[in-house]
Structure 1
Amino acid sequence: MAKHAVLLSGAKMWRSMACAKSELRLDLTLACGQSFRWRETADGHWTGVMGGRVWTLTQTDDTLWYRVYKKQDIGVEGSDRKRKAYVSLQTENESEKRFQGALKKEEEEPVAVTLVQDTHEEEEMLRDYFQLNVKLGDLYKEWGAADPHFKHIADIFTGVRMLRQDPTECLFSFICTSNNHISRIQGMVERLCQALGAPLCQLDQTSYYNFPSLSALADSSVEACLRDLGFGYRARFLQQSAKQILDTHGLEWLEGLRRVPYLQACDALRTLPGVGTKVADCVCLMSLDKAEAVPIDTHVWQIAKRDYNYASGNRQKSITDKLHRDIGDFFRKLWGPYAGWAQSVLFCADLKKFQKLKEVPHLKQPQEEEHGEGETSVVCKKTKMQREKDATVKNMKTKPASHKKAKLSA
């Protein structure tokens, strides 16, 4: 009800397109570690940068709602959860974002912005970004028919789909993921954009920046700048990879990898500093249209062993290129040409932040209880409320009895 009220209060500011939650769930898709540019800025409302623009997205059961912020004139938005949303845009002049020495940016002067009304281009951008041409419900049915474990998970984690990101943003974001976790990666990517990206706008006291260009990332001063910002050894990989792409291949090379076979694209990416097999697979899957790419990290390896009894006797402690390829082939044989999409559903379902979805009382969803490697049985866990109720009933039964016994003995 509250979300409907928000949409109605600012109806002229929102645009919409038909999209069922079974085809896309924003809360799962935008927070499962594919992109690091989105934040939940209000209940069920996600704000981030895509395609050089700042967006706010939300959804109802069968509709995806969106706003796009752009340079022009606006005062203060209407009542929106009683929050004022004054939006200011800082100048985008290229000369003002060039870095001097340690990439110290000049001050930009705020300019008012408004919401984009030309919706055709924005709707096409969203359709492309979320790959809405792919019928996710049909894929879920195929994967569920081939894999009982997936079918059980899919009943809870619907609408997890792959984003089609800008290849430059995807590559350099995932170079930051080495020995890292999602929340820390988000902070690093944000600092990267603040240091090297063009300013876009300020919304609710938060400034938004575009992702840096290859030219910005390749500058000789970048490594020192990023080390100062806490990137560690990754700072060198970021600068060197950008420089190698520009010096050896050119600006259009990354996007051109969309048109070559998966293994060729993967091998090409692995020639870059800081890009191993896992990062290459992530970039192939999430930005280069290689739906069969299955990124394998220790997390996915554990899923393969625990839930699929994969190589249960294997005592390897690290993921070699051969193991990566073998596990990928295992899942490709099981799930088919969109294996990377199916893997992302299981990866999402295994994240700690989403475990509460398995315990929603009114859904009565079963959870798996482990009984050893690769062997599971389905049980229904009691909710916290049920446990507290049981404890209360037990106390009511036991306390009077003990009180009576004490009184008689006296």
Structure 2
Amino acid sequence: MTSIPIMKRPRPRPTPPPTPPLSTTKPRSQTHHTKKSKPTTIKWVPLNLTQSELSLPLTFPTGQTFRWKQTGPLQYTGVVHSHLVSLNHLQNGDVSYCLHHTTTSETSARSALLDFLNAGISLSEIWEVFSASDPRFAELACHLGGARVLRQDPLECLIQFLCSSNNNIKRITKMVDFVSSLGNYLGTVEGLQFYQFPSLEQLAMVSEAQLREAGFGYRAKYVVGTVNALQSKPGGGAEWLASLRNLDLQEVIDALSTLPGVGPKVAACIALFSLDQHHAIPVDTHVWQIATRYLLPELAGVRLTPKLCSRVAEAFVSKYGKYAGWAQTLLFIAELPSQKALLPSHFWSTKEKKSTKTKNGEMCIVYILHDAFSVICFCENSPLCSQPPPETTSHHQERPTAWLSAQICNHRGHAVKHGPRWFWFVLSSDFRWLFVVQISTAAATTRRASRRGSLLRSVTTEATP
């Protein structure tokens, strides 16, 4: 039998992968010839408001509202009704806006924004009247132009100021952000989420326990109680709040004071910032100090009482007229440490200058600078004081705290060795006061008044034994 040779089947070659289609993108070395796609541009529209009529940094971060966020160097973003809007200063100072989201039309969004900004009131005209009756106001207005009073939604304003009672700005903002998140989501700008403020029905779905878990503390029962009280109003709480715009100021204060957690000061804030009561004066310890310094000096050192609150409000109205609340707002802003940098140094004063001798006979000069909000103490021969403070130099445009803050930027909260001596820098958590103490030569003690939140009453220095 003839053997048949066995033929080995050749191994099939692996099928090469399909050739990918040619890329339409040119090599990197040639990309400079291609036209790059343009990023999405934001449409900024002029609002026909100059910086003298509206200064964003002097209006939004000054305690009127806690829902607007800074999203750029001169840009603030917030929600007006259902419109997500950013405001910005152009190079010439004029204000422009960008509409990120709206549930209606751009025309209605612009109209709502102008209403929110109280654009129908000429700031320059009323400030001209204030300046004629108050030379100090006239000088402040030159440096703090554009500090405008907003016209907020009454419900939104009410809930915000319920959160503000005996509270600090950081915590107020956190609480207001929690309440805002109960509303409808509108969008994200610069990594920050924005929501339409919740309706009464949405607010009613949150329990007191949930608010307490969110850090509201005793204010939780006031928020829940106020929401329930508003829901029981004839025609609905939102309509009832809006109707207060047609009443006299005292009637508005009395009506708001029937709501849980609303006292005279909170009621005055709501009346001024949302209910067209332009002569409402929210009186607290800070406004009291402004009043006793410039309007009622005979009451300096007297304890503030409800009766004196009325007297302070009357003094402001007598001085500034039907827009007294707008004048009080500027005077309040002028006392904020964050805004003092815009003012000349003569708006600050040196309260005391003490000299104490050390064991070695060296002199330790201690300056105590103060304003309505802060007391600042530092030693002249500390490392911060290698140059004299601004009052003793020709730099009249620089305030002492700005100069001091610039010197201390790298030493805050630390002991710094300077030559053979040690220094300790103590800055309060709210940035309201600062000590610079040369430990080897001087000791400083502070005493606060018994009432929580009151100002630093006295600073004493003595030589270390």
How would you bin the TM-score normalised by the shorter chain? 0.7 to 0.9
Normalized per residue, the structure richer in helix is 1
Partners of 1:119 and 1:217 lie apart in 2 by 28
Aligned partner letter, 2:192:
T
Partners of 1:387 and 1:203 lie apart in 2 by 34
Q: 1:382 to 1:211 in 2, by over 3 A?
A: closer
Correspondent of 1:33 among 58, 63, 84 = 63
Correspondent of 2:97 among 66, 72, 78 = 66
Aligned partner letter, 2:347:
Q
Unaligned runs of 5+ in 1: 1-8, 73-115, 360-364, 389-410
Q: Does 1:337 align with 2:322?
A: yes
Q: Does 1:312 align with 2:312?
A: no
Q: What residue is the counterpart of 2:194 in the other structure? A: 208
Deviation per residue, 1:59-117 (Å, 9 max, x gap): 22353211112279xxxxxxxxxxxxxxxxxxxxxxxxxxxxxxxxxxxxxxxxxxx9x
Greater RCO, 1 or 2 (C-alpha within 8 Å, sep 6+) = 1
Q: What residue is the counterpart of 1:350 in the other structure? A: 335
Deviation per residue, 1:342-361 (Å, 9 max, x gap): 000011111111122125xx
Normalized per residue, the structure richer in strand is 2
Q: What residue is the counterpart of 1:367 in the other structure? A: 347
* Aligned-pair CA distance for 1:279: 0.4
Deviation per residue, 1:200-239 (Å, 9 max, x gap): 22333322112121122234x4211110000000010001
Q: Does 1:231 align with 2:261?
A: no
Aligned partner letter, 1:248:
K
Q: What residue is the counterpart of 2:43 in the other structure? A: 13
Q: What residue is the counterpart of 2:278 in the other structure? A: 291
SS in 1 for 2:208: helix
- The question of whether the paired residues in 2 share the 8 Å contact of 1:164 and 1:286 is answered with yes
- The question of whether the paired residues in 1 share the 8 Å contact of 2:81 and 2:197 is answered with no
Higher CA-based Rg: 2
Q: 1:222 to 1:144 in 2, by over 3 A?
A: same
Partners of 2:196 and 2:137 lie apart in 1 by 37
Q: What residue is the counterpart of 2:143 in the other structure? A: 156
TM-score computed with the length of structure 2 as normaliser: 0.65
Deviation per residue, 1:258-310 (Å, 9 max, x gap): 11111111100001110000000000000000001011111111111223343
Partners of 1:303 and 1:280 lie apart in 2 by 20
Q: 1:201 to 1:326 in 2, by over 3 A?
A: same
Q: Does 1:139 align with 2:126?
A: yes
Q: 1:235 to 1:276 in 2, by over 3 A?
A: same
Q: What residue is the counterpart of 1:56 in the other structure? A: 86
Q: What residue is the counterpart of 2:226 in the other structure? A: 241
Deviation per residue, 1:27-84 (Å, 9 max, x gap): 1101111011111111111111221221111022353211112279xxxxxxxxxxxx
- The question of whether the paired residues in 1 share the 8 Å contact of 2:99 and 2:106 is answered with no
Percent identity over paired residues: 36
- The question of whether the paired residues in 2 share the 8 Å contact of 1:367 and 1:381 is answered with no
How many residue pairs get aligned? The number is 327
SS in 1 for 2:232: helix
SS in 2 for 1:55: strand
Partners of 1:382 and 1:34 lie apart in 2 by 28
Q: What residue is the counterpart of 2:164 in the other structure? A: 177
Q: What residue is the counterpart of 1:92 in the other structure? A: none
Partners of 2:403 and 2:165 lie apart in 1 by 41
